[in-house]
């Protein structure tokens, strides 16, 4: 897990569901790169073509609601998204993000599309470098940090099974 990251913001509204992140018809592969070709295709057709490695998603309330498809997290990771910031997350999306190491940051902030953000996961701090505003967020639970530091749930499982 990287502790510090910088990236451009993509602004989304409340209740972004996983059908919006990756429509059901593309759930025929688990490959992040393949999935990323169709990420946000129905709601933001320009996204897949212009997203850059390190970019961040900033959503509102209840980000990632709907289907349990982990493909949503994979598609975002395949597109190079470095973290997702939202006022609140749907719980399966939150779990999937931790288990796959895409940090889900719970924070309410004012952001415009394209603003440059600087996130420090350890300090629990976000700075909007475009307008200078500073925000803080609550630390991840220690078990979540343990999983992300090990490199994801499966590394944790592997260690537990072979210990």
| Cβ nearer to another protein, comparing 7 with 103 | 103
Residue whose C-alpha is closest to residue 98's, from 19, 135, 151, 29: 151
Applying CB under 8 A, among 51, 69, 103, 128 the residue interacting with another protein is: 69
In the bound complex, what is the minimum distance in angstroms from residue 54's beta carbon to another protein?
Answer: 23
| Cβ nearer to another protein, comparing 56 with 92 | 92
Which residues here bind another protein, judged by CB under 8 A? Answer: 15, 17, 19-20, 23-25, 27-30, 42-43, 61-62, 65-71, 73-74, 88, 90-92, 95-96, 99-100, 141-144, 147, 152-154, 156-158, 160-162
């Amino acid at each position: 897990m990287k502790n510090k990251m910088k990236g451009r913001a993509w602004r989304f509204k409340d209740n972004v569901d996983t059908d919006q992140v990756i429509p059901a018809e593309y759930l025929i592969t688990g490959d992040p790169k393949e999935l990323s070709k169709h990420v946000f295709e129905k709601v933001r057709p320009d996204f897949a073509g212009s997203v850059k490695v390190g970019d961040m998603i900033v959503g509102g309330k209840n980000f990632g609601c709907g289907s349990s498809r982990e493909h949503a997290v994979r598609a975002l990771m395949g597109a190079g998204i470095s973290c997702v910031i939202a006022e609140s997350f749907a719980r399966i999306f939150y779990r999937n993000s931790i288990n796959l190491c895409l940090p889900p940051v719970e924070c309410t902030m004012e952001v415009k599309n394209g603003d440059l953000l600087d996130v420090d996961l350890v300090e629990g701090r976000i700075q909007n470098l475009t307008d200078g505003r500073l925000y803080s967020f609550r630390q991840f639970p220690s078990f979540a940090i343990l999983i992300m530091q090990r490199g994801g749930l499966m590394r944790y499982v592997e260690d537990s099974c072979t210990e």
